Amino acid sequence: MGGTHKILANHAAIERLLVRLAVSRLAADTREIVLDFDATDSLIHGGQEGRFFHGYYDSYCFPPLYCFIGPWPVWAQLRTGNRDASDGTVEALEKIVPVIRECFPEARIILRADSGFARESIFAWCENNDLFYVTGMAKNAALLRHLDPTMFRAKADACVRGGWSTYFCEFEYRTSKSWSCVRRVIGKAQVNPKGENPRFVVTNLPGDLPQWRPEPLYREFYCARGDMENRIKVQQLDLFADRMSCDAMSANQLRLWFSTFAYV
């Protein structure tokens, strides 16, 4: 009887296959492709390679980076617990976008993500490669000052509407140091019985089309990213995507891919 034989996984080939499978699911007449990026947490309970305490999740975990095109996972990258939510996004785009353009050279590509992805490196890459983006943006004093007139209107309106009111605005904004240029920001001034609830998104989509004006862009396009969060929950809760019990990082990455291909 022969001895055992170890089968080595070709990680680069698996990565490419996942991208091509997702893109192949798109209809031939597709004209717009939304890349939904998000990070999540996979708890670990041992001495696994890459183990770090993550302050945001308040636990020892891996924070995988996911990307979906509609219902299809196109990227699933395991990362060590000391990584920023957006780490690896540009590298993922460099591998995903060429495949999309090979199949859909005329399609509009839009990156959509929460405020953890509002990073200069991501914005600049998209701008330099003819991609659009819509990401959340954490509030700060400067953004709140821009929103003040709209928030005043919302508070006044809430007084005669039972404590509820929402208005939208847009303005040009640039951070003092981190951004390389002025960018378009959409502000949501919402008042509810608990108080003020300001929100912001940053985008390079033009505002001259009705669907990209402030309110529809926020309500109908940006908020739709919540569907992706549900897909991640399905994968983790039903397909064991958060089972990271191997010692080696590469083995746990393979576990994540097994779950992702099972989802596909």
DSSP states of 28-52: TT--EEEEEEEE--EE--S--TT--
Q: Which two tokens stand for residue 98?
A: 């060429």
Whether 63 and 39 have beta carbons less than 8 Å apart is answered as yes
Torsion of Cα atoms, 54 then 202 then 32 then 214, to 10°: 130
pLDDT given for residue 190 in this prediction: 96
Answer yes or no: is pLDDT of 1 > 70. Answer: no
pLDDT given for residue 97 in this prediction: 98
pLDDT given for residue 7 in this prediction: 78
Query: What are 205-245's pLDDT values in tens digits?
Result: 999 899 999 999 999 999 999 888 888 888 887 877 788 88
Mean per-residue pLDDT over the chain, rounded? 92
Q: Which two tokens stand for residue 199?
A: 């929100």
Q: pTM for the complete prediction?
A: 0.92
Nearest residue to 125 via CA among 170, 102, 95, 100: 95
| pLDDT band, residue 5 (cuts 50/70/90) | confident
